[in-house]
Amino acid sequence: MYDTNFLANHLRAPSLGRDNSTFIRLHETDNTISFQDFFQNAERIASVLINSGIQPGDRVAVQVEKSVSALELYMGTVLAGSIFLPLNPAYTPAEIEYFLRDARPALFVCDPSKLEMLTIVAETCGVTQVWTLTGENTGSLVEARNYESPGFRGIKRGPDDLAAILYTSGTTGRSKGAMLTHRCLHSNAEALVDTWRFGTNDVLIHALPIFHTHGLFVATNVSLLSGSSMIFMHKFDTDGICQRMTEASVLMGVPTFFNRLLQNQELEQASKNMRLFISGSAPLLAQTHVLWRERTGHAILERYGMTETNMNTSNPYDGERRAGTVGFPLPGVEVIVTNQENGQILPSGEIGVIEVRGPNVFKGYWNMPEKTAEELREDGFFITGDLGQIDADGYVHIVGRNKDLIISGGYNIYPKEIEVFLDGLDGVLESAVIGIPHPDFGEGVVAVIVPQSGAKLIQEDIMLKLKDQIARFKHPKRIVLIDELPRNTMGKVQKKILRERFARLF
């Protein structure tokens, strides 16, 4: 149907002939959207974009709440030959300005409640078209969509053309736009459908956000490519998930999901109908694995992925799902562990830097050729920056991170961005932001601050100043005041010592 548009064609093909079958059931209302409804609305949105002057390769930036229309916008952007650029709804206008200035999108879609403020931001960045979309599937974009007819055939796009740009921060604090091709997204969804045994009878509980890889590409693309359906939840809700498990078969989540579901008394009975529980975006505690198996009889399947590569590895569907590991490389994906100093491949069991090669790997960083060359080798291997090892049985273990990335509740948080802000506050001499074990979020953000001589800092005042500058999920859960930061002989702050010192803070 969309034979000239590589990704859209592959995602549409499995549901052809089943047009009236349910693709999405809304948890809150029980309303259903068929495959035909979904793709026809995507076609209408593609027409809106083209009529707005969008050209192939243009970026469409989106900062909206989770909704079915937002998913249709993703597919409509692909059909229009443009590049989808989702942004976290929690980002402040100050943060949005950076993304718009860097990506230079031709069009920006935001929530109507933020229209006035973000229109000003967009104009300063040279973005002249701003449309609106709400979490209730209303807004100027939906109004324009409803005036269009379905039947848009899809702009010609090949496997190597860009389908999306997802921003991932670096420890310098400057976000990097990972360029993902049609092939990246299709090949990865294909590998996951095969590895996780997805079929037309599966029903996925979709409780993840849709502004990053996990909820947008893993959950949505796998559902489309397998021709299966999903129960669409606007936000995570333990009672709602337990209620829906009786009519579903798969749940994808982050460790926080599983930790909170373990507190629900209905879990044992509700999970009897389920086929598979998948966890990712952050390490899952071994204790959670054990408790989940005891309560439900299921072994959680943990996998490993990142913005630049989509999914890399997965514990097996059949066979041992080992707690503390992320399983084996996916079909078509190569994973090696190398010496950090010389790049030589290390033998089994030795710890080094994880590198990944395959059709799932991104094309490079937007407008950052030097950074691309630094992290993407000429032979196609991407240097992930994660430290790990491959054991004698071939299971991949993630043992740490080469950089000081914090993963809290499934979100990537980069300390430098928070430190730069804290260091600029009156009364702050310097700061160090670390992640330490947290029973609910995996890691909790802790800001360690050295006050200036004579300064009296109050935690509540600092948190208030953070409010409008940095997204809430990045906010420290604790602020600790100390006399000085530990340093090595070269003057570098030793965050390992801080992590050890405050390891039992939560």
Q: What is the mean pLDDT of residues 188-217?
A: 96
Share of the chain above pLDDT 90, in %: 71
Residue 456's pLDDT band (cuts 50, 70, 90): confident
Q: Are residues 390 and 416 in the same domain?
A: no
User: CB within 8 A of 221, min separation 6: which ones?
Assistant: 11, 185, 186, 188, 189
pLDDT, residue 343, reads 85
Q: How confident is the model at residue 171 (pLDDT cuts 50, 70, 90)?
A: very low
Q: What is the mean pLDDT of residues 361-383?
A: 95
Are 156 and 17 found together in one domain?
A: yes
Q: List, in sequence order, every beta strand (DSSP E) within 323-405.
A: 328-329, 334-338, 352-357, 364-365, 382-390, 396-401
**CA–CA separation, 106 and 126 (whole Å):** 9
Based on the fold, state whether residues 88 and 198 are members of the same structural domain: yes
- Whether pLDDT at 177 is above 60: yes
Q: Are 217 and 246 in contact (CB under 8 A)?
A: no
| Domain termination residue (choose one: 352, 369, 401) | 401
Please give the torsion angle defined by the CA atoms of residues 442, 245, 66 and 18, in that order, rounded to the nearest 10 degrees.
Answer: 130
Give the CATH number for residue 128: 3.40.50.12780
- Domain limits for position 19: 6-235
Q: Does 286 share its domain with 421?
A: no
Residue 281: per-residue pLDDT = 81
Please indicate, yes or no, whether residues 356 and 212 belong to a single structural domain of this protein: no
Domain C-terminal end among 363, 383, 401 = 401
* Position 229 in a domain: yes
Domain CATH number, residue 294:
2.30.38.10
Q: Are residues 181 and 87 in the same domain?
A: yes
CB 171 within 8 A of CB 404: yes
Amino acid at 358: G
Number of domains in the chain: 3
179-188, 390-399, 453-462: the lowest-pLDDT one: 453-462
Calpha distance 243→495 (Å, rounded): 43
Give the span between the Cα atoms of 189 and 218, in whole angstroms. Answer: 7
> Is residue 79 included in any domain, yes or no?
yes
Average pLDDT (487-495) is: 64
| Residue 445 β-bridge partners | 435
Q: Is the pLDDT of residue 144 over 70?
A: yes
Q: Name the pairing type of β-strands 334-338 and 352-357.
A: antiparallel
243 located within any domain = no
Decide if 240 is inside a domain: no
pLDDT classification of 126: cutoffs 50, 70, 90 = very high
pLDDT tens for each residue of 212-266? 899 999 999 999 999 999 999 999 999 999 999 999 999 999 888 998 999 999 9
- Mean pLDDT, residues 408-437 taken together: 84
Beta bridge partners of 84: 60, 164
3-state secondary structure of 443: strand
Residue 1 maps to a domain: no
Domain match, 223 and 283 both: no
DSSP conformation class of 473: G
CB-CB neighbours of 98 under 10 Å: 15
Q: What is the mean pLDDT of residues 134-159?
A: 95
- And the tokens for 121? 């931001």
- Asked if residue 14 lies in contact with residue 225, where contact means CB atoms within 8 angstroms, the answer is yes
Comparing 54-68, 194-208, 259-273, 483-497, the range with the smallest average pLDDT is 483-497
Q: Are residues 308 and 344 in the same domain?
A: yes
Burial class (CB in 10 A: 0-12, 13-18, 19+), 460: exposed
End-to-end Cα separation, the chain, in angstroms: 53
Q: CATH number for the domain including 455? A: 3.30.300.30
Which band of pLDDT confidence, cut at 50, 70 and 90, is reported for residue 402? low
Give Rg (Cα) of the chain: 23
pLDDT tens column, 297-344: 999 999 999 999 999 999 999 999 998 899 999 999 999 999 878 889
Model confidence at 7: pLDDT above 70: yes
pLDDT of residue 489: 45
377 occurs within a structural domain: yes
CB-count exposure of residue 342 (10 Å: 0-12, 13-18, 19+): exposed
Comparison of pLDDT for 108 and 490, the residue scoring more: 108
Structure tokens at 156: 């010609």
Task: Provide the pairing of β-strand 176-181 with 162-168.
Answer: antiparallel
Lowest mean pLDDT among 60-64, 172-176, 281-285, 355-359: 172-176
The token pair at 314 is 């997965």
- Assess whether pLDDT exceeds 90 at residue 495: no
Same domain, 390 and 358: yes
Specify whether 229 is located in the same domain as 284: no
Q: How confident is the model at residue 173 (pLDDT cuts 50, 70, 90)?
A: low
Q: Is residue 265 part of a domain?
A: no
pLDDT for 494: 81
pLDDT value of residue 4: 95
Across all residues in the chain, what is the average pLDDT? 92
CA atoms of 474 and 489, how far apart (whole Å): 31
Closest to 419 (Cα-Cα) out of 433, 407, 408, 406: 433
What is the Cα 391 distance to its own chain's centre? Answer: 27
110: β partners: 63, 132
Give the mean pLDDT of 274-296: 88
Predicted TM-score of the model (pTM): 0.84
Instruction: Please report how many Cα atoms fall inside a 13 Å half-sphere around the Cα of residue 86, on the Cβ side.
Output: 27
d(CA 380, CA 362): 10
The answer to whether residue 422 sits within a structural domain is yes
Token pair belonging to 483: 């006399």
Residues 217 and 69 in one domain: yes
Question: From the CB of residue 87, how many other CB atoms can be counted at a distance below 10 Å?
Answer: 22
If asked whether residues 375 and 411 sit together in one domain, one would say no
In the prediction, which pLDDT does 506 show? 87
Res 170 pLDDT > 50: no
Angle between helices 93-103 and 115-124 (to 10 degrees): 40
